[in-house]
Chain A
Amino acid sequence: MADIDLPHLCRLAQLALDGAEADAARADLERIIDMVDRMQAFDTDGVEPLAHPLGTAARLRPDEVTEQVDRDRFQALAPAVQDGMYLVPRVVE
């Protein structure tokens, strides 16, 4: 069975799981890894890697400014704003 470092994954995903949630997440992850292991068994020699299930390419957009930003409306959703800035708990570099 894969070695799952759940605390590390939680830190990367910014999740705080309690005991029961952590157990459930671990069980889910184990099943996912098991499925990936089974997929590894297929012979994929000569199969081209697929980045996207749709077999087409991206449509490119013309370089035009089409969005007029209603800042007040967007900022009404934010917990804290000041001088047009979105405020978040202090991030120290």
Chain B
Amino acid sequence: MSWEAVIGLEVHVQLATRSKIFSGASTAFGAEPNSQACAVDLGLPGVLPVVNGEAVRMAVKFGLAIGAEIAPFSVFDRKNYFYPDLPKGYQISQFAHPIVGRGELAVAMPDGSEKIVGITRAHLEEDAGKSVHDAYAGMTGIDLNRAGTPLLEVVSEPDIRTPEEAAAYFRQMHTLVRYLGICDGNLAEGSMRCDANVSVRERGAAEFGVRTEIKNINSFRFVERAIAYEIERQIDVLESGGRIVRETRLYDHERDETRSMRTKEESDDYRYFPDPDLLPVHIDQALLEAVREELPELPAARRHRYVETLGLSAYDAGWLTQEPETAAYFEAVVAAGGDAKLSANWVMGELSAALNRDERAITDSPVTPDQLAGLIARLQDDTLSSRTAKTLFEGLWAGEGEVDEIIEARGLKQVSDTGELKAIVERVVADNPGQVEQFRAGKDKVLGFFVGQVMKATQGKANPKQVNELLQEALKP
């Protein structure tokens, strides 16, 4: 039997405000436990929440970026449940009237294609605190610094069909919120987490199967692996005659498996009702227009521009636009005169490898966009070969000076003087009579040996095309 998975993601985006969504406590990461949990966050009697306007603006910005309708009035509700990481006994969220309505996201797939995923809604809510289970004998430690941090929960339509698409969607969401500047995108610090709803059905069936929810995944790789595991598990259960139970599962990345946490029927009784402490949020036309003015060029538009006006492949365009800083660097190289395709190759190749190796951010690159453009210009005017260009790059990286200084100092100029090269070629041919005979006997591969010898003699500075031509000439019987 052929199976098809149906996947929807709920992504929690921590909004990059300075203060919390309903209190004036700081949201800075990494503070001493509970040093940023004020009376409102602790749920002490008599306190009142007041909405952070910046969190509202950020939600509106997101909504406009996905082409969604922004609700002129949205309402905060209480989602009631008991867990010590939210001492009020409820989480303030939005249920019936979320701030952001239906929209869509154009997701760049790894193969360069694009998939449109529908977004059902996005709503504002407060984050919960953190529980520490194993450090205290018989007790659980609670750190409420994170309680009250603004979250935007983005719910997708069940439009996703494979683990790869799910990972690409999560990645695209990450790219978008970083472009918008509404989230720092730091997955390791939990700034973005996602829950995945997964079900399988016979291919072509109209109805969805029973779904499970995998909670709290915080890496692109784990999203893909957790969903892949869960799809396999559900197919195994169904093929061996069992049935899927609606439940919440947890992904254990060390064992690469999902485990049951609790069955849904037990816990899903949140008794939402409008929070009487909070008035509805009104978004007027003036605010909408002001936020619209602030929208940057969005990732999909930038991707399309790179393909259409710079002539890059869809893959390269997707790669370069993933992080706004990378795109800015690339565009600075092009603005400084770098050929678009060569600039893309150097940013994606040599530069990105060096940044990875030295664990540096592109904003902190020792090689500036101007220098990279200069290197590319010297490559194009044949001063450098691809090999000496790499040597020059190393020199720039090490801070040895500007492009032409290093070419001079390290003697990187390509030898294109035909007379000089010809002499070297003839000497190499004369010095290796055995190989000459082999070549003349039809062993074409020996040509590589000669090219290597010439390159060695010129310390890599010979123009390879010229070397080839001269060798062919000299080796003729």
Contact A85 B25 (CB under 8 A): no
Asked if A40 lies at the interface with its beta carbon under 8 angstroms from chain B, I say no
Q: Tell me whether B34 and A66 are in contact (CB under 8 A).
A: no
Write the B11-43 contact mask toward A (1 if CB under 8 angstroms, else 0).
Answer: 000000111000111100000111111111010
How distant is the Cα of A56 from the Cα of B36 in the complex, in angstroms? 31
Which chain B residue has the least Cβ–Cβ distance from A12? B269
Neighbour of B53 across the interface among A62, A69, A71, A91, CB < 8 A: A62
B271 contacts A by Cβ under 8 Å: yes
Which residue, of A56, A61, A80, A92, has the highest number of chain B Cβ atoms within 10 A?
A61
User: Are the C-beta atoms of A86 and B141 separated by less than 8 Å?
Assistant: yes
Contact of A85 among B50, B80, B97, B132 (CB under 8 A): B132
Q: Tell me, rounded to whole Å, the shortest Cβ–Cβ distance linking A75 to chain B.
A: 7
- Indicate with 1 or 0, residue by residue over A11-46, a CB within 8 angstroms of chain B CB atoms: 010100000000000000000000000000000000
Question: Which among B24, B269, B281 has the highest number of chain A CB atoms within 10 Å?
Answer: B24
Of residues 254 through 275 on chain B, the ones whose CB sits less than 8 Å from some CB of chain A are: 261, 269, 271, 274
User: Within B281-302, which residues are at the interface with A (CB < 8 Å)?
Assistant: 281-282
Tell me if A's interface is mostly helix, strand, loop or mixed. loop
Does the CB pair B274–A92 fall under 8 Å? no
CB under 8 Å from chain B, chain A span 48-93: 51-52, 54, 56-67, 69, 71, 74-75, 80, 82-93
- Cross-interface CB contact of A51 among B23, B55, B97, B132, cutoff 8 Å: B97
Instruction: A54 to B97: give the CA distance in the assembly, Å.
Output: 17
CA distance A65 to B54 in the complex (A): 12
Chain A residues with Cβ under 8 A from B39's Cβ?
A: 67, 74
Q: Are A57 and B280 in contact (CB under 8 A)?
A: yes
Whole-angstrom CA separation of A75 from B144 in the bound complex: 12
Closest residue to B33 on the A side, CB-wise?
A84
A79 CB, min distance to chain B CBs, angstroms: 10
Cross-chain contact A85 with B133 (CB below 8 angstroms): no
Residues of A within 8 Å of B208, CB to CB, are none
Q: Are A64 and B35 in contact (CB under 8 A)?
A: no
- Contact among B37, B50, B143, B282 for A61, CB-based, below 8 A: B50
Interface size of A by CB at 8 A reads: 35
**Which residue of the partner chain B has the closest CB to A85?**
B141
Contacts of B55 in A (CB 8 A): 63
Report which of B18, B97, B140, B269 forms a contact with A63, defined as CB distance below 8 A.
B18
- Chain A residues, Cβ within 8 Å of B42: 74
* A59 contact set on B, CB distance < 8 A: 50-51, 279
Min C-beta distance of B99 to chain A, whole Å = 12
Across the interface, do B34 and A74 meet the contact criterion of CB distance under 8 Å? yes
Knowing A57-B73, A91-B84, A93-B261, the reply to whether A63 touches B138 (Cβ < 8 A) is no
CB-CB under 8 A from A75, the residues of chain B are: 34
What's the minimum C-beta distance from A61 to chain B, rounded to whole angstroms?
5
Give the residues in chain A near B449, CB-CB below 8 Å.
Answer: none
Given contacts A57-B279, A58-B51, A69-B36, contact A90 B24 (CB under 8 A): no
Would A83 and B53 count as touching, CB distance under 8 A? no
CA–CA, A56 and B279, complex, Å:
7
- Check: B278 CB closer than 8 A to any chain A CB: yes
Contacts of B477 in A (CB 8 A): none
B18 contact set on A, CB distance < 8 A? 63-65
Q: List 8 A-B contacts (CB under 8 A).
A: A12-B271, A58-B278, A60-B53, A63-B54, A63-B55, A71-B32, A87-B136, A89-B139
Residues of B within 8 A of A (CB): 17-19, 23-26, 32-40, 42, 44, 50-56, 73, 75, 80, 82-84, 97, 131-133, 136, 138-144, 250, 261, 269, 271, 274, 276, 278-282
Chain A positions within 8 Å of B, measured between CB atoms, are: 8, 12, 14, 51-52, 54, 56-67, 69, 71, 74-75, 80, 82-93
3 nearest A-B residue pairs (beta carbon)? A60-B53, A66-B24, A57-B282
